[in-house]
Amino acid sequence: MKSSFQGWRARAGGALAGLSTALMGAAAWASDRLGEPTPGGIDLQPGVSPLRHEAIFFHNVILLPIITLITIFVLILLVIVMVRFNKRANPVPAKFSHNTTLEVAWTLIPVLILVFISIFSFRLLFAYNDMPKPDVTIKAVGYQWYWGYEYPDHKIGEYVSNILPEDKAKAQGVPFRLAVTDPIVVPVNKVVRVQVTGADVIHAFAVPAFGIITDAIPGRLNETWFKAEKVGTYYGNCRELCGVDHAFMPIAVKVVTQPEFDAWVASKGGTVPGAAPAAAPPPAAASVAPNAAAAGTPAAATSPVNPAAPAPATPEPKAPAAATPAPKAPAAAN
Ligand SMILES: [Cu+2]
């Protein structure tokens, strides 16, 4: 039953999105790029995670038709009022000021519309909060103006991910202002938990293809999750105005196969959880306290994470930098 329902939803979503695209005469919907914006595109970026599919369905099949119908309905009412009840067409206006039936209707119908929307809205909200057991945990820390990533369960200490300078992006054939020096790497079809915090000001971690956006707030550890269904590179941005270089701290997520991911973990000096049970904390602990997430890092190094930034205003003890002091690359190409 569910599959036929999903099939219906996929068709309905596709038809509506295709219709809206055709109406607006934009670039072909089917050729939208995966994982990055399409020049001239108007539709939502295609999704590669279950939550993103739900969100696209909610927007294209539930919200968009309702908004369109209400807008058309109000427009028709306005036109009727302007044509039939202007001074020339209707010189002597009626004197009544109440109509109980009408007043009940224009109160009740919007309430019912909102209740209908809320059913889908809450279902999606709960799905976002209902994280399956994570296979990989990443801690993403927002800095002015770059990201630091850490894999506590894999004992990969925080490394810095800067924007890739324009000349290097061109040379590598990757999109400038989206590509980064050191991306997040995750295995395909695995549940990835992202713990998000900020070191200096509020940032936000957002990757449209996965349908996630989470505030990175100093002193607070937020959490979100995704399950990437396709191998590829998916780009995102900081989504909270965080200072002059806010536009230059992109996010890149490389989704690879499990063997490629294991090789990458090894190349970062990490270990696969379970392989070395001696010091690894239980994964569940990481979700509770921010410090627990850092407990898996090899050693309490003394150097701060970001030598360039002033001491973070984080009330709680900051996660110490891992064995390798994070090199602060210059804010590039600005
Ligand atoms: Cu920002």
pLDDT tens figures, 165-177? 999 999 998 999 9
Distance between Cα 23 and ligand 1 center (Å): 34
pLDDT of residue 33: 81
- The model's confidence at residue 160, banded by pLDDT at 50, 70 and 90, is very high
Task: Considering only residues 176 and 13, tell me which one the structure prediction assigns the higher pLDDT.
Answer: 176
pLDDT of residue 292: 40
Distance between Cα 249 and ligand 1 center (Å): 7
The CA distance from 48 to 30, in Å, is 15
- What burial class does residue 261 get, using C-beta atoms within 10 Å of its C-beta: 0-12 exposed, 13-18 middle, 19+ buried? buried
The CA distance from 273 to 154, in Å, is 6
The pLDDT tens digits of the residues spanning 185-211 come to: 999 999 999 999 999 999 999 999 999
pLDDT of residue 210: 95
2-129 — its CATH code? Answer: 1.10.287.90
Distance between Cα 278 and ligand 1 center (Å): 38
pLDDT of residue 273: 80
pLDDT of residue 146 exceeding 90:
yes
pLDDT of residue 65: 96
Distance between Cα 93 and ligand 1 center (Å): 56
pLDDT of residue 321 exceeding 70:
no
Distance between Cα 135 and ligand 1 center (Å): 28
The pLDDT tens digits of the residues spanning 262-297 come to: 999 999 988 888 665 444 444 444 444 444 444 444
Distance between Cα 177 and ligand 1 center (Å): 13
Distance between Cα 130 and ligand 1 center (Å): 27
Of 284, 285, 322, 316, give the one whose Cα is nearest residue 302. Answer: 322
Distance between Cα 21 and ligand 1 center (Å): 30
Mean pLDDT, to the nearest integer, of 129-142?
Answer: 94
Print burial letters for 110-133: b (CB count within 10 Å at least 16), e (below 16).
Answer: eeeeeeeeeeeeeebeeebeebee
Distance between Cα 207 and ligand 1 center (Å): 13
pTM for the whole thing?
Answer: 0.69
pLDDT of residue 182 exceeding 90:
yes
Distance between Cα 248 and ligand 1 center (Å): 8
Distance between Cα 216 and ligand 1 center (Å): 9
Assigned architecture for domain 136-295: Sandwich (2.60)
The CA distance from 197 to 314, in Å, is 10
Distance between Cα 143 and ligand 1 center (Å): 9
Distance between Cα 246 and ligand 1 center (Å): 4
In the block, residue with structure tokens 């971690």 = 205
Distance between Cα 247 and ligand 1 center (Å): 7
- Residue ranges covered by each domain of the chain: 2-129, 136-295
**Cα–chain center distance at 44:** 13
Contact 318, 148 (CB under 8 A): no
Q: Which residues surround ligand 1, an ion (CB under 5 A)?
A: 203, 238, 242, 246
Distance between Cα 215 and ligand 1 center (Å): 10
Distance between Cα 129 and ligand 1 center (Å): 24
pLDDT of residue 320 exceeding 50:
no
